[in-house]
Amino acid sequence: MEKLIQILTECCPGIDFANETALIDDGLIESLDIVTIVSELMDAFGVDITVDDLTPENFNSAESMWDMIQRLK
Amino acid sequence: MSFTSVTYIVFLVALTVLYYVIPKRCQWMLLLAASYVFYCCGGVKTVVYLLFTTLTVYAAGLLLGRLNAQRRSLPDGADKARLQEAIKRRKKAVVAAACLLNFGMLYTLKYWDFTAQLLGRALNRSLPSLGLLMPLGVSFFVFQSIGYVIDVYRGKQEPQRNVAKFALFTSFFPQIIQGPISRYNQLAPQLYAERTLDYDKLRDGIQLILWGFFKKLLIAERAGVVANTVFDNAGQYPGSILAAGTLAYCIQLYCDFSGGIDITRGTAQMLGIEMTENFRRPLFARSLTDFWRRWHITLGGWMRDYVFYPLSLSKPFARLGRWSRGHIKGKAGKILATSLATFIVYLLIGIWHGSSLKYIFFGFYNGIIITVSLLMEARFVGWRSRLHMTDDSRGWNLVRIARTCVIVFIGRYITRAPRLLTGLGMLWRTVTDFQPSALVSGSLLGLGIGVMDYVIVICAVLVLVLVEYAQERGVHIRQWLAERPAGVQFIAALVPLLLLLFCTGGDYVPAQFIYAQF
Amino acid sequence: MTAKKWLGLFVAALAVTGVIWAGFNVITDSYGVFGDRFLDFYSYDMTRNPRVAKIAWLDEHHDDYDSYIIGCSGSSSIPTEPLNEAFDANFYNMIMYGADLLDVEQTARYLLDNYEVKNIVVSLYVDNAIEYNVGEDDINSRLHAKVSGKPLLPFYLKYLFLNPSYGIDKLKSYFSDTDMPQVFDVFDVETGAYDKRLRDVEPIQTLEEYVEQPEYAVFANYPTGQYGMTQIDNCVKSLTAIRDMCEEAGVNLVVVNNPCYVDYLRYYSADDLALFAQKIAEVTPFWDFSFSSVSYDPRYWYDKTHFRNSVGDMMAAVMTGDESLYVPEGFGHYVTPETAPDSSDYAQDLRAPEDSYTASVPVILYHHLDENGEGDVTIRTDNFRAQMQAIKDAGYQTVSPEDLYRYVYEGTPLPDNPILITFDDGYSSNYELAYPILRELDMKATIFVIGVSVGKDVYKDTDYAITPHFSWEQANEMIASGLITIQTHTYDFHQWPLYEAEQSTARENVLPLAGESEQSYIAALLPDLQRARQELEQATGKTCFALAYPEGQSTKLSWMVAAKAGLDMTFSTRPAVSTVIKGLPQSLLNMPRISVDDITAEELLATLADAGA
């Protein structure tokens, strides 16, 4: 989880990933960032994230992203 | 039937009354009937295209739904993975077929004549042009329907089994001319719901429609005359007048398009249906990316979900990204793959607007600026901190807004000019031969509208900017108004009506939508 | 406030808007349907839609009229005045743009049913045989519901809830309206005809010059076409209905077939034209003006299908038997079934008549004479004598303005090689030096005097010495000789700025001052010309009808003012030979004059020859 927060902060500096729960809904991260995040995550955790996984629910918080990664592993 | 015609108002009033009077289970059927009546007013023959899309996409939805069900009900077993793969292939085939049929139709209708011309020139012989009748809003219903197919493919959406209900989704009249491009899960359930009259929504809808009329009739009509005059005779004006004409076109385009969307959403609201916003005050965009998130939002969203994501997450792109991160240093390496996908998206948006080289150029223009701005981001931040401005300081925001306006403004030269070269030439003259004196020497009065019209346009645009600024600051104007005394509210209703009555159309001909041809 | 309440409020606002809307349309009344009580600007309303506005206007004013001319736009040129005299009636011209015979029939029926009527003139045009019951419901060409018999309520509602842009346009026009006819008020409300005050004062000279002007270029290259007369039966039906209505009501019916430009007539086959004439004659005898020498000369035409008012005057003269007015040979036949032309009459390609209805008249211009030729625009006395002798020897015969006037209006022949000799300003030298020579050689001349300078040797109201001017006594002495005509050079529109108290408002000529409004210009020029005329007529006992524009300069507006002041013949200083045309009073306007100074007699003759005399 710490590794995840670190990756996220590198991609999009200045966002409080630990506590935000509406990253997508509030427009904090946008489509370009999502693609960067997804590719970083795939490299870092060795998972395959597809378009079908690109739902707001999966990306609204660091925690939900963590859950998604666990699910896909 | 133009939104700004008396016929439309009569149609809408009659429909609204009927809608709330008839039995609730018939409401959606009334909407379907009304939608087809509306569509037929724009040409009976072109209904076949709408029906074609409706039926093919409906069938594709059913097929995909069945395949989805099969996939879910596969028994656990050794060859489950193999079977899943087989089903997925069949699903892909269905989607491909639906896309091919519908985009093929769209291509034939919109771009065949253009292609034939280009090809003909290349092959040195003339290919026949088809001269087909352009159906109203064909791009909109095709995109909207394909979005539905993909949603069903992804398993996010259960297919609609009632063909009539599905037909309502593709033909819903307020949006058919110029969008917004709605998502099935957002719009369709609302269309089929049974509704009782909601006074709040009725009021909101009426107010929104009035606001749309205000933008279209008071501003866009007049600004459009100026823009047409300037662009039709571009050769005979100095740079300053060309710039004024382009500014007029920016104003016209925004007011006409967003005004039309206001009427669309207002109409739907009167029927109790909430449609997605298509514009969010693009004037206040802080970057070109931000602009595209505020301008024609539903098209951008469609492109993001159905083109950008699948493309940038596809295997080739993932490989490209991994390679570039390893081989190219710094930011450029990181963003290469995404930038390429961005480029493709803007190219598609460009092509979506029309079949001409200038739209392809326009796509490149946007793609390049967005990529460059990504690469330059660090430098911008450096400049900013040297100027002692923070990220959200007012000064910095103004600079960003102005910068975005200029970029968009330049792009409009290209899209409005009859040809790419004409647009570039006009741009060149604006820079090299500005002649600011032409702005005060009375040339402006030779552009088709009179002093009174300029006064009306300028005042109305000021009102528009003030209102949008207030909205941008989070002020709810309508709510604020609703708390005023009755007298004030009466005046606030009467004045716009009188303005619309007395300041509309000197030529007595209803305005046509610019965007309807896209 | 709840939404429900707001909706109530909104409906109230809509209602108020509706009332304001209707109120605005009733007040501005762009089509006159509500009686145009507030602006009383019927010339605008009729321009919008003559069919509707004329009926609305007549509903208020039909007591002033008892006879009507009905037809399409050509009918406008049929004048009411001579018909009023001949029929002892008060005619109103009901011309409607593009009227077909159903429009005419319905209008006639409305007039007969609702007003007191003595005479009806139906004016036909060949077009009537190709279009019938066009049934145009366009706002600018629909019939009044009272005439067409359509329901009244929807008709009035349309005008009540008309696009306010119409009313705004009318208000704009109302406030920018002037004395001159404008594009938005082309009708003369009192007669119902087009207001041609401006159009009818445009000078007309040679055919070549005429077709060179952009608005008449169409005649140089007349479009070709072919029309079949498919509606003759319907025309007969409507005309029969009109005839029977008139008979029943004891109303005198006159049917006229309007003149037609020859190239337009060729759109139709000779068989069709003959059949049309025959069929009409079977319903009622009629006056046929469709084909004559007028059809050949574009100068008789406002445009490719509309003949001039002066042609209408000739038509009226034919119909009323007025022989004082010139009428071309073969213009107007009274057609009965027996005398109807057959197709061979139309088929033979009639050549344009001999050019016998026009004449070239050089007009030469002198100012001052002096024994030694001192001063500007001055000629030595002996040289003047030599020039006069040379002119006479060359076979020129001097004529008076009245001779030209008679030629144009009455067709009175001119002598061979006519020439008009004129003097501007009225200097004493004309009396002392030129007059004896002219008397000796028995030559006519015309002197244009500046009213305020007559008999003066100092500039008016000052002591500044000027070249002396002859007196009224001297003028009368010259007139008594029968050789000299005295006409006007304005009363005081030929000022010397240097001698005027206020130089900037000095009137050197009849052009408006810089920035002068139309109204104040007319208010200055019209009384000046009227005074010049009055004093001249009082002093000489002769009619003053000719004006030489000071410095030869003029504008459209001055043409109109001169016509209003009764000056039907005007002169410029454009160096060319004048052309006068029978039946075309405009050929007497702004006539060119060749200014002559101290050149030799041979040079003068050469100049005249060069100018084409």
Residue C373, helix vs strand vs coil? coil
Chain C neighbours, 3+ Cβ pairs < 8 A: B
DSSP bridge pairs for B246: none
Q: Which two tokens stand for residue C91?
A: 């005619």
d(CA B278, CA B467): 17
d(CA B396, CA B388): 10
Per the model's pLDDT, the better-predicted residue between B386 and C559 turns out to be C559
Average pLDDT over residues C228-255: 95
Q: Which residues of chain B are within 8 Å of residue C168 when distances are taken between CB atoms? A: 502
Predicted TM-score (pTM) of the model is 0.79
Query: Which residue in A32, A49, A52 is closest to B154 by CB distance?
Result: A52
B134-161 confidence digits (pLDDT tens): 788 888 999 999 999 999 998 888 999 9
B490 and chain A: CB distance < 8 Å anywhere?
Answer: no
Q: Which residues of chain B are within 8 Å of residue A50 when distances are taken between CB atoms? A: 313
Query: Is residue B337 predicted with pLDDT exceeding 70?
Result: yes
Per the model's pLDDT, the better-predicted residue between B77 and B362 turns out to be B362
Average pLDDT over residues C329-333: 86
| Residue that is written with structure tokens 């957002």 in the block | B186
| Helix or strand holding residue B516 (H, E) | none
d(CA C71, CA C98): 8
Query: Is residue B515 predicted with pLDDT exceeding 50?
Result: no
The answer to whether residues C235 and C101 touch, using CB atoms and an 8 Å cutoff, is yes
Q: Which two tokens stand for residue B122?
A: 């290349």
The answer to whether residues C25 and C160 touch, using CB atoms and an 8 Å cutoff, is yes
Shortest Cα–Cα distance, C94 to chain B (Å): 28
Least confident residue range of A11-15, C122-126, C578-582: A11-15
Q: How many CB atoms lie within 10 A of CB C516?
A: 13
Q: Which residues of chain B are within 8 Å of residue C12 when distances are taken between CB atoms? A: 490
Interface test with A, best of B302, B313, B375 (most A CBs within 10 A): B313
Per the model's pLDDT, the better-predicted residue between C333 and C444 turns out to be C444
Q: What is the pLDDT at residue C115? A: 94
> Is C7's CB within 8 Å of B506's CB?
no
> Is B200's CB within 8 Å of C3's CB?
yes
B71 and chain A: CB distance < 8 Å anywhere?
Answer: no
Query: Which residue in C2, C17, C24 is closest to B497 by CB distance?
Result: C17
A40 and chain B: CB distance < 8 Å anywhere?
Answer: no
Interface test with A, best of B154, B309, B325, B331 (most A CBs within 10 A): B309
Q: What residue of A is the nearest CA neighbor of B317?
A: A39
> Is B206's CB within 8 Å of C10's CB?
yes
Q: What is the pLDDT at residue A23? A: 77
Query: Which residue in B200, B202, B486 is closest to C9 by CB distance?
Result: B486
> Is B308's CB within 8 Å of A31's CB?
yes
Q: Where are the domains of chain A?
A: 2-72
B397 and chain A: CB distance < 8 Å anywhere?
Answer: no
Top-ranked range on mean pLDDT: pick from B498-512, C134-148, C396-410: C396-410
Arithmetic mean of pLDDT over chain C: 91
Shortest Cα–Cα distance, A69 to chain B (Å): 16
C467-488 confidence digits (pLDDT tens): 999 999 999 999 999 999 999 9
A72 and chain B: CB distance < 8 Å anywhere?
Answer: no
Does ipTM exceed 0.90? no
Shortest Cα–Cα distance, B250 to chain A (Å): 26
Query: Is residue C287 predicted with pLDDT exceeding 90?
Result: yes
Chain B neighbours, 3+ Cβ pairs < 8 A: A, C
Q: Which two tokens stand for residue C255?
A: 């049917």
Query: Which residue blocks in B73-198 are alpha helix, DSSP H?
Result: 80-123, 138-153, 163-171, 173-176, 184-192
Q: What is the pLDDT at residue B172? A: 94
Q: Which residues of chain B are within 8 Å of residue A39 when distances are taken between CB atoms? A: 318, 321-322, 337
Arithmetic mean of pLDDT over chain B: 86
Query: Which residue in C6, C16, C166 is closest to B489 by CB distance?
Result: C6
Which residues, in sequence order, are CB contacts of C294 under 8 Å at separation 6+? C259, C300, C307, C311, C314, C328, C331, C583
A48 and chain B: CB distance < 8 Å anywhere?
Answer: no
Query: Which residue blocks in B183-287 are alpha helix, DSSP H?
Result: 184-192, 199-213, 221-232, 239-270
Q: How many CB atoms lie within 10 A of CB C66?
A: 19
Query: Is residue B518 predicted with pLDDT exceeding 50?
Result: no
DSSP bridge pairs for C124: C257
With cut-offs at 50, 70 and 90, classify the pLDDT of residue C353: low
Annotation: CATH topology of C358-610: TIM Barrel (3.20.20)
C7 and chain B: CB distance < 8 Å anywhere?
Answer: yes
The answer to whether residues C451 and C383 touch, using CB atoms and an 8 Å cutoff, is no
A35 and chain B: CB distance < 8 Å anywhere?
Answer: yes
C396-419 confidence digits (pLDDT tens): 999 999 999 999 999 999 999 999
Shortest Cα–Cα distance, C157 to chain B (Å): 15
Phi, psi angle pair for C147, to nearest 5° = -85, -45
Closest CA to C36 of C23, C45, C24, C47: C45
Q: What residue of A is the nearest CA neighbor of B154?
A: A52
Shortest Cα–Cα distance, B151 to chain A (Å): 10
Q: How many residues does chain B have?
A: 518
Shortest Cα–Cα distance, A2 to chain B (Å): 22
Q: Where are the domains of chain C?
A: 11-347, 358-610
Cα angle B267, B59, B298 (rounded to 5 degrees) comes to 35
Q: Count how many Cα atoms sit within 13 Å of the Cα of residue B454 in the half-sphere of its side chain.
A: 13
> Is A52's CB within 8 Å of B289's CB?
no
Query: Which residue in C1, C7, C14 is closest to B202 by CB distance?
Result: C7
> Is B486's CB within 8 Å of C1's CB?
yes
Query: Which residue in C13, C24, C168 is closest to B497 by CB distance?
Result: C13
Do A and C make contact via 3 or more CB pairs under 8 A? The reply is no
The DSSP letter of residue C121 is: E
Least confident residue range of B56-65, B73-82, B91-100, C246-255: B73-82
If you write DSSP's letter for every residue of C374-396 in order, what string do you get?
A: -STTEEEHHHHHHHHHHHHHTT-
With cut-offs at 50, 70 and 90, classify the pLDDT of residue B512: very low
A50 and chain B: CB distance < 8 Å anywhere?
Answer: yes
| Helix or strand holding residue B389 (H, E) | none
Chain A neighbours, 3+ Cβ pairs < 8 A: B
> Is B497's CB within 8 Å of C14's CB?
yes
Average pLDDT over residues C493-514: 88
Least confident residue range of B77-86, B193-202, B382-391, C182-191: B382-391
> Is B308's CB within 8 Å of A35's CB?
yes
Interface test with B, best of C4, C5, C6 (most B CBs within 10 A): C6
Query: Which residue in A31, A39, A54 is closest to B321 by CB distance?
Result: A39
d(CA B478, CA C6): 12
Query: Is residue C349 predicted with pLDDT exceeding 60?
Result: no
Average pLDDT over residues C233-251: 95
Class level of CATH domain A2-72: mainly alpha
A36 and chain B: CB distance < 8 Å anywhere?
Answer: yes
Q: Count how many Cα atoms sit within 13 Å of the Cα of residue C388 in the half-sphere of its side chain.
A: 24
C158 and chain B: CB distance < 8 Å anywhere?
Answer: no
Query: Is residue B299 predicted with pLDDT exceeding 50?
Result: yes
With cut-offs at 50, 70 and 90, classify the pLDDT of residue B391: low
Query: Is residue B293 predicted with pLDDT exceeding 80?
Result: yes
Average pLDDT over residues B20-39: 94
> Is B489's CB within 8 Å of C17's CB?
no
Instruction: Please enumerate residues of B whose Cβ is less than 8 A from a Cβ of C.
Output: 199-200, 202-204, 206, 482-483, 486, 489-490, 493-494, 497-498, 501-502, 504-508
Backbone torsion region of residue B471, taken as left when φ is above 0, otherwise alpha when ψ lies between -120 and 50, otherwise beta: alpha
Q: What is the pLDDT at residue C350? A: 56
Query: Is residue B514 predicted with pLDDT exceeding 70?
Result: no
d(CA B15, CA C308): 57
B285 and chain A: CB distance < 8 Å anywhere?
Answer: no
Query: Is residue C192 predicted with pLDDT exceeding 60?
Result: yes
Query: Is residue B510 predicted with pLDDT exceeding 50?
Result: no
> Is B309's CB within 8 Å of A36's CB?
no
Query: Is residue B511 predicted with pLDDT exceeding 80?
Result: no
Average pLDDT over residues B64-90: 86
Q: What is the pLDDT at residue C352? A: 56
Whole-number Cα distances in Å, B133 to B37, B38, B49, B130, B142 = 18, 17, 10, 9, 16
B152 and chain A: CB distance < 8 Å anywhere?
Answer: no
**What is the full per-residue pLDDT of chain A (73 aa) written as tens digits?**
788 888 888 777 777 787 877 777 776 777 777 777 887 787 788 787 777 777 777 888 888 888 888 887 7
